[in-house]
Each structure stands twice: as C-alpha cells, then as structure tokens.
Structure 1
Amino acid sequence: MVAWIGASLALMPVAGAQNTAQDLPVFGRSQAVPNPPPPALQNLPQGLPDLGDPSAALLSGVQERKLGESVMREVRGSGGYLNDPEVVGYLNELGNRLVNAVPGAPFDFEFFAMADSSINAFALPGGFVGVNTGLILLTQTESELASVLGHEITHVTQHHIARSLGNQRDAMLAMLGALAAAVLVSRSHSSSSGDMTQAAIASASGLAIQSQITFTRQNEEEADRIGFQRMVAAGFDPTSMATFMERLQRSTRFVEGNAPNYLRDHPVTTQRIADAQARAQGLPFRQVPDSLDFQMVRALLRSYEGTPREAVAFFRDAIAERKYNNEVAAHYGLVAALLRAQDLKTAQAELTALEKTAPPHPMIEGIAGQVLMQSGQLKAAITRYQAALVRYPRKMQLVYDYPEALMKDNQASKAATFLTEQLQRFPSDGPLHQLAARAYAALGKQLLQHQHQAEFYAWQGNLKAAVMQLELAIKAGDGDFYQLSAAESRLRAVRQELVDQEKDSGSNRRAG
C-alpha cells in the first residue's frame, strides 16, 4: 500500500469491536480547549532534515490541495464520515498543535474522523488527515494519538504523495480517482475489510503492491522519524509512539487470515518499534497528563457503541466499579449514552450531578443544551446556548445547536441572522449552510434556501445536486438583484467545476 493511505496503521478491527457508523449522529458535540505552547525545538536530539522538494516540478501545492479537496468532497458525502463537531473539533485542536510545533507547513491542515471501528489513520493530498474512531478508542493516552497524527502529518509535509505522483504519474492519477472509494471500502463491515481496502487500491492503481514496498517503507520510516520529532516538539511523551505500536502488535497477533500480506511482514512489529524505542531513550523522562478533552471525546465515542441500553450499562458499571481513567469523562459518557437512549429525565439528573464536580467546559455546555432541547425546554436551551457562546464563540457544537433550538422555538428569523453572521466567519462550513437552508425554508425565502442547500451539496461533493439547487434558486423569483447575480455567478462556477470533474474522471478511467 502506498504510504499516504497510512499503510503502517491500516490494521484490522480489534477483536470484539463493533462497527458504530449507523449509530453516530450527524452533528455531535464541540471543540477542544487550547493546548500549552510546545517546547523549544533545540531540545530535540536531531533537527528536521531539509529534503528539498524534488516533486514540485511535477505537482504544485495548488494541484495537490485541489486533489485532496476533490477526494474530501467524496468522503464527506459518504455514510462513514463522522460529522461530529466534538470529535472533529478536538482532532483539529490536537492536529494543529502538532502542525504548528514545527514551522513551515505547506498547507492548512484539516483533520477528520471516520465512523469505523477498524484501526486506521491516513493522509490525503493537500493536508487532509483522517482517523478512524476505532483507532481513537484504542489509544490509551493523548500522546499515543499524537504519535499517530504526527506520523500522518509527515506524509503530507514531506510531499510523499507528490513524490508518488512523480514516480508513477499516470497510474497514481488513476489511483487518486478511486481513492475515496478505497477509503470507504475500509469501513469495517466485515473482518476482511483490511484486505478489501488493499484490493480496492491495488485495482484502482493498476500496480502490483509489491512494486511499491521499498518506496513505501522509505516513506514510513521517514514519517516515523520526523513524526516523532514533531510529537516531541509539541510537548508529548516520547515513549508513546513505541508504546502504541506495541499495542497494535498485540491487538492483531492472534487474528488470523485478515491482515494484508504487506502488513504481516512490515516492520511495524519489529524494526519500527525498536527504532521508536531508541529515539525515546536519549530524551529525559516526561510525564504528560491527558487533556480532559481527550478523555471526554473517547467517552463520547464509547457512548455510540452497541445499543443505547448497552452503552448506558457500560458507563454505569464503569462508574460503580471505578474502572475509568477520568471520573468527569465517565459521567459525561453516561449522560451521552442516556441522551442516546432518550432517557431524558435520568440524563438531566446525571448532568446536574456532573456539573457539581466538573470544571467549566464547552462539551458540558453542549450536551446540557441538547438535554434541554430534546426535553422540550427550548427557552432554557436557548438561554444556555447564548451564555455558552459568549464564553466559547468558536465551539462548533454550540454554533450548530443554537440556531437549531431557535428554529424549534419558531424563531427562524433570528436563526437566519445568526447563521449569516457565522457563515461570514466559516464560509465553507457545509453543515452551517444546511442549517441556513432550513431557516430560510421556514421563512419562505426560496432563493436563499436553495442557494444554501446548493453549498451544502457542493461541500459533500454532489455537484449535480448543487447545480439543480442553484437553478431552482434562480427560478425562485423572490431575491433581489444582488442575490440573483450571486446565484448566477455561483451556478457558472459550479457548472465549470462539474465539467472539470467529469473530464478528470474520464482521464482517470483511460489511465487505469
């Protein structure tokens, strides 16, 4: 497997793990609190190598980003994409802490999660990094998760994708055309999904996997080495990379018949572990506590597993037996499980108890608002969201849920005004456009309704649906001159993008 799909981490599901994609919500909870600044880079055992950019002549940064955005649109439109602001927000806080630990990142990074219990993380062209929920749950410390993200970030910063395109340009372009499908195949609907992913990618590229092994190993070694330095620069535990690799080894040692051949003889269980241990030995011991955000996000993901009743029982048992890493996170997970089970009265009681012991936190504000909203206490929910947004104005769970509560309370005009303000801050946020479409539909403003729905479809990669919505917007006849002109201009742009996409698809089919 090529390095930038995260071959070193594309392992099979942990025994007993469940696929939770069908249980995960469209909108989840919020974002993470800021992390402390990283230590000075001069404390590292060695500097980051300047490898230059021999791929630049073949694939520019703009082209690489465009490829990544194209794949991401397909991923966002899939059933496996986890559009949970709590999880996504946390991953972006953690990921960008790692990115910013070393100056000179070539892209603005976007981190996202796939609702998949298998153990996988992967980098896409142009600064997009995905992590399966199963991998987050397998990590036991925040430093372990940071080691995975640092590895994947390095695949991007070292231009491994562009180098691959330089070496196998036609074949790799064909592979990129099918990359989104390969990512979606990796969702663990069966224990053989790891092999299915390998087969999908091999078929898409038209290349034998064996012809890529040496190249892939070189990239994996580089990603380990530089990713380790990035993780240490960001202030995380140097031993965590080796520790997590060892857990990966143990989690798959007795699972027969599922691991791809490449992973069976890949040095993830031997040389890579030894190298990671050797790098950590030369550094002073550093005990790095996990953030509350990390523990709460893991609890939230755990609350989505199994049936709602099973999730509630899991947290009740864990709390009764004190089998948890963080008490606040365990009680938060119980509230989330009760909310999922629609036991709103008990959820309210548990939330009240949680707030007596927990520090102020945006994730607690988010779930408190949801308990109130789902209980029909709309005025109280609105008041709570308003106060929380003053304190946490960039926490997307609150940004999404406040207009939702307003619309439920028949205040669509106020919701539309708020969403217009937020879209000035986050103009490319697909879920915000979808909420705006609903608000304008409630107000009977058809041009704006269809225009925002078009932006949501474009964000998902469904350009044909976006074109149809923009055509409806222009025909609505209820917009002013400026709104109509904006819709017509956007329609021309999306139509051209659709033409370009179809041309690229045709080229990829011929190259394959």
Structure 2
Amino acid sequence: MKNRLIAVLLCLALVPGSYSQGLPDLGDSASADLSPLAEQKLGMQIMRDIRWADPAYLRDAEVEDYLNRLGDRLVAAGPGAGMPFEFFGVNDPSLNAFAMPGGKIGVHTGLILAAQSESELAGVLSHEISHVTQRHIARMVGQQGRSSMLMLATLLVAVLAAKSSPNASQAAIMAGQAAGISSQLSYSRDFEHEADRLGVQNLAAAGFDVRGMASFFERLQRNSRLYENNAPAYMRTHPLTSDRISEMEDRILHLPYRQVPDSLDFQLVRAKLRVGKAASRELMDELQDAGRRDGQSVVAHYALARAYLASRRFAEAERELVALRGLKQPSAMIEGLDGELLLAKGDAAGAAKVFHDGRSRFPQSRRLLYGEAGALLDAGRTTETLNLVKTELQTTPGDALLWELRARTEAAFGHRMAQHRSLGEMYAIQGKYAASAEQLTLAQGAKDGDFFEMSAVDSRLREVRALLAEQMKERRER
C-alpha cells in the first residue's frame, strides 16, 4: 500500500491548522495531559510497531548508525542533551522527516538523497529535534485533550490490522482514512517558527554550516510550486512560508560564516541508498563514467563496488575494493562492504576475520558486529559465536537480532531450553508477548538446563504473562 503506517504516525506529531493562533501554556496543563514519562512510553510503543510491523522501516544498521551519530551530535549541542533520542530510516522516496513522542525521529531515504550537503540534512534533523525538546506533541495534547490521542492510537491499531488483512479493499479504506486525517494536519506556524529558531541555534552549536538549513528549505519551497496539490510530504506537514525562510536567513546573517565539509559516511550512505539492492543499467553506466573521471574518489569506488556486488559481478567488485583499500580512507562502511563481498563469494571464515578486524577499529558499528556473529555461525564456529553474542547481550539486552542469533547458535548446539528462551526474549522485545510466552513455556519443558537457568525462565515467563495480560486489557479497552 502506498499509504503506510508512517502517514498515521505523522498524526501524532502534528497540530491542526485551526490551532495556529497562539501557543498553549507550558505549565501543568500540558504536563498533565502527556507527562514526559507517558510521552516516552508512547514513543517506545509506536517505535516497536514501526520496527517490527511496518515494511517501510529501513532495516539497515549502517544507515541507522549514521543517522544516530549525526542526530546525537546535534542533540548534544542543544537543550536536548541527555534526552533519549532515537533516529531511524524509512524506505520511502518522498521528501519527509517526522518527530514522534519520546524523541523518535524518522527520516525518509528520499530526503537523505535530496540533501546536497550534510549540513542540509543536519538542518532538517535539528528542526525535528527542536519539535521534541519544545514538547510540541505534549502541547498538542494539552490543546486537544485526551480524546484526540485515543482517536489517533485507535487509528494506528486499525492501520496495523489492515496491513495484515487479506481483504485488500478494507485495507485501502483504512489507509485512505489515515491519509485523509494526515492531510488535514500540520504543525502550527508558531511551532514551526520556534523549531526554526532553535534548529538554527543547534545547527551552529554543533559545528555545521547554518546556511544549509535555509538553502534546503528554500529549495523545497521553490520545487513545491511544481507539484501543485502533490507537494512533497515534508511541505504538507511542515508548511513553508516566505516569512519563515526570510526570518531564517535573517538569523543566519548574524552568525559567523563557516564552511563545513561533508563527512565520508554521509557520502557513502547516500551512495549505498542510491545503488539500492540492484543497480539499473543507466546507473551502472553513470557510476562507471564517474569512476573513470576520478580514480581517486572513495565514493565512486564504493558505489561501483556495491553496484557490482548487487549484480553478482564479484571480480569487478573486488577490483573496486582493492582500489578503495589503496586510498586508505578509514570507514566502517568500507569494512562492511568487504565482508559482505566475502560472504557472497562463500568465504564465511574470511568474512568473519574482516568483520572482526573492522570492529577493532570501529567498535561501535552494529553492522560489523552482526556481520561477525553471522559469519562465525555460517562458518560453523558456534562456540565463538555464542561467546560473542552473550558478551554483547550483557550490554545491549534489548537487541532482538542478537537474541535471534543466539537462538540459532543454541539450536546448533542442541540446547533446547536456551534456544526457546532466546526466542522468547526476541519476541518479547518485539511486543509479541503471546509468542514469547509460548517459547518460554517450551523452555520450561525442555529440562536440559541447570537450576539457575530454569529459575530464570520461570521468572521471565511470569513477567511476560503479566505483560501479555496488560496488552490484552489495552486491546479490549480500545
């Protein structure tokens, strides 16, 4: 379906135009309607639904890691320092970004590709971060009351149900209703001006070129005139006006000039998204021409290597990787591509070494971590896989992919209790408490663990059953 869950999620972060005159009081009224704790809980619930139920969610650890590095740099420079922000990608060609309760910020791939500099992308993120730090969502609830939030939450559930329904016409009706409500909502002028002002301040404080924010928004406004009623989503949900852009430019005139080069990862992320899962003949020709024009371009060699890998032209992909290594530009994304090529060629042991060596240089890279664990398992090195996954789960127990890898590894050993317990943890993280309880019940019956393992399973099963009961109660109340 064209209208995805994202259209509904936007509703939670947007304010009707009828409330554009004046801001609500920031005191007890807003806090009573949506406290910071309630905002965090709501954001976590919606994020869980996006990550595990929406096909538009971009399942790419490299892109998500990059967005979080960029976002964290902006957050640290402004009033949001210390707040639990989370940034993620949405596989959608439209130009859009959106903020949700609890600091969850989504960025469409179309927006990343449309940005002509990293400062432009950072400007959009800085704007969205300001919507969160100023608690515009809580202030929206203060204006509209709880009934609005309940309506939106109900609509969210309806669209999720429609996505899995075999009745396509009913799904279309649900999506149409969501899109209709979304099209009527937009941030108020006051909220937008406030986010612009703080966004520019944060952008400057984080060391980016503040002109990037104004130039990107001005280009969006200029291009929107060509769309008429089909303007980019960002233009519909964040209405741009000439006075907004004029005010932004006026603020920028009073700030010192700063020329900021793009990071290598920004360029590589855009190259990866552009190539996608399969490069067209036209794109391949364009990339080859770019490689011939500039044999010293890291981005050109990376993009070509990705394109050749997607086409399973392994020898040519290896040639481009050799050229990349010769340029000696450190990047976790280059290390990841190297391991990916070895895996595609069937060399799991070689890939595991590349991922492992890469992690010594880039210990925060989740893509390299997942790559090493998966390659070790493919190579039959189950003991090393289990040790690695267990170690990482001690610091990141909420990582569902690591629990899945652990379940696969425990299954290879024939450890039935540990396997089912790991699957139970994976399902619990995904909010699938019925499936989690089922797996933990199977773990109870396996009887191949020691006393301490059995006690841990019993305790966790009680917790999951309580969560399942709460989930079922919430569904009945809706």
TM-score > 0.5, shorter chain as reference: yes
Q: 1:350 to 1:229 in 2, by over 3 A?
A: same
- Hey, what does 1:73 align to over in structure 2? 48
Aligned mates of 1:493, 1:276 — CA distance in 2: 51
- Hey, what does 2:153 align to over in structure 1? 176
Q: Deviations over 1:286-313 (max 9, x none)?
A: 1111111111111111110664655534
- Hey, what does 2:372 align to over in structure 1? 402
Q: 1:318 to 1:250 in 2, by over 3 A?
A: farther
Aligned mates of 1:84, 1:439 — CA distance in 2: 22
Question: By percentage of residues, which structure has more helix?
Answer: 2
Which of 32, 57, 68 does residue 32 from structure 2 map onto? 57
- Hey, what does 2:191 align to over in structure 1? 219
Moved more, 177-186 or 357-366: 177-186
Structure 1 counterpart of 2:338, which letter?
A
Give the superposition deviation at 1:379: 2.8
Aligned mates of 2:203, 2:175 — CA distance in 1: 28
Does residue 343 (structure 1) correspond to residue 352 (structure 2)? The answer is no
Q: 1:262 to 1:114 in 2, by over 3 A?
A: closer
* Contact 1:72/1:180, CA 8 A, preserved across alignment: no
Q: 1:407 to 1:257 in 2, by over 3 A?
A: same
Aligned mates of 2:277, 2:344 — CA distance in 1: 21
Q: How many residues align?
A: 451
Structure 2 counterpart of 1:271, which letter?
D
Structure 1 counterpart of 2:308, which letter?
L
Does residue 82 (structure 1) correspond to residue 26 (structure 2)? The answer is no
3-state SS of the aligned residue for 1:140? coil
Q: 1:105 to 1:70 in 2, by over 3 A?
A: same
Give the superposition deviation at 1:133: 0.8
Does residue 304 (structure 1) correspond to residue 279 (structure 2)? The answer is no
Which of 334, 345, 356 does residue 364 from structure 1 map onto? 334
Does residue 454 (structure 1) correspond to residue 424 (structure 2)? The answer is yes
Q: Deviations over 1:49-98 (max 9, x none)?
A: x9667522332222111111111111011211112111000000000001
Q: Deviations over 1:425-463 (max 9, x none)?
A: 211112111111111121111222222223323333333
- Hey, what does 1:44 align to over in structure 2? none
- Hey, what does 2:126 align to over in structure 1? 150
**Greater RCO structure (CA 8 Å; 6+ sep):** 1
- Hey, what does 2:401 align to over in structure 1? 431
Q: Deviations over 1:377-411 (max 9, x none)?
A: 23322222222222222211110011111111111
Structure 2 counterpart of 1:381, which letter?
A
3-state SS of the aligned residue for 1:165? helix
Q: 1:314 to 1:306 in 2, by over 3 A?
A: farther
Moved more, 481-490 or 281-290: 481-490
* Contact 1:228/1:241, CA 8 A, preserved across alignment: yes
3-state SS of the aligned residue for 1:479? coil
3-state SS of the aligned residue for 1:80? coil
Give the superposition deviation at 1:233: 1.0
3-state SS of the aligned residue for 1:223? helix
Moved more, 158-167 or 246-255: 246-255
Aligned mates of 1:419, 1:128 — CA distance in 2: 27
Aligned mates of 2:273, 2:37 — CA distance in 1: 35
* Contact 1:109/1:129, CA 8 A, preserved across alignment: yes
Give the superposition deviation at 1:479: 1.9
Which stretches in structure 1 are left out of the alignment for 5+ residues? 9-49, 187-194
Q: 1:417 to 1:202 in 2, by over 3 A?
A: same
Q: Deviations over 1:465-486 (max 9, x none)?
A: 2222222222222222222222
TM-score scaled to structure 1, two decimals? 0.80
* Contact 2:95/2:232, CA 8 A, preserved across alignment: no
* Contact 1:76/1:459, CA 8 A, preserved across alignment: no
Does residue 246 (structure 1) correspond to residue 218 (structure 2)? The answer is yes
Q: 1:185 to 1:359 in 2, by over 3 A?
A: farther
* Contact 1:68/1:128, CA 8 A, preserved across alignment: yes
Structure 1 counterpart of 2:209, which letter?
D
Which of 107, 119, 123 does residue 95 from structure 2 map onto? 119
Give the superposition deviation at 1:106: 6.3
Aligned mates of 1:145, 1:183 — CA distance in 2: 30
Which of 122, 130, 133 does residue 109 from structure 2 map onto? 133
Aligned mates of 1:272, 1:434 — CA distance in 2: 48
Give the superposition deviation at 1:222: 1.5
3-state SS of the aligned residue for 2:240? helix
Q: 1:454 to 1:202 in 2, by over 3 A?
A: farther
Which of 295, 299, 317 does residue 289 from structure 2 map onto? 317
Q: 1:231 to 1:63 in 2, by over 3 A?
A: same
Structure 2 counterpart of 1:439, which letter?
T
Structure 2 counterpart of 1:200, which letter?
A
3-state SS of the aligned residue for 1:55? helix
Which stretches in structure 2 are left out of the alignment for 5+ residues? 1-6, 17-24, 164-172
Aligned mates of 1:107, 1:314 — CA distance in 2: 43
3-state SS of the aligned residue for 2:87? strand
TM-score scaled to structure 2, two decimals? 0.85
Q: 1:413 to 1:388 in 2, by over 3 A?
A: same
Structure 2 counterpart of 1:317, which letter?
D
Does residue 352 (structure 1) correspond to residue 322 (structure 2)? The answer is yes
- Hey, what does 1:45 align to over in structure 2? none
Give the superposition deviation at 1:240: 1.1
Q: 1:179 to 1:108 in 2, by over 3 A?
A: same
Does residue 386 (structure 1) correspond to residue 356 (structure 2)? The answer is yes
* Contact 1:228/1:238, CA 8 A, preserved across alignment: yes
Structure 1 counterpart of 2:38, which letter?
Q
Structure 2 counterpart of 1:301, which letter?
L
Which of 127, 131, 137 does residue 161 from structure 1 map onto? 137
3-state SS of the aligned residue for 2:84? coil
* Contact 1:80/1:115, CA 8 A, preserved across alignment: yes
Aligned-residue CA RMSD (Å): 3.2
Q: Deviations over 1:91-129 (max 9, x none)?
A: 000000011102454631111111111111111111111
Aligned mates of 1:390, 1:228 — CA distance in 2: 36
Aligned mates of 1:468, 1:164 — CA distance in 2: 40
* Contact 2:224/2:232, CA 8 A, preserved across alignment: no
Moved more, 299-308 or 50-59: 50-59
Q: 5 Å matches for 1:196-345?
A: 199-200=177-178, 203=181, 209=184, 216-259=188-231, 263=235, 267-304=239-276, 307=279, 309=281, 311-321=283-293, 327-345=297-315
Aligned mates of 2:162, 2:285 — CA distance in 1: 32
* Contact 2:58/2:88, CA 8 A, preserved across alignment: yes
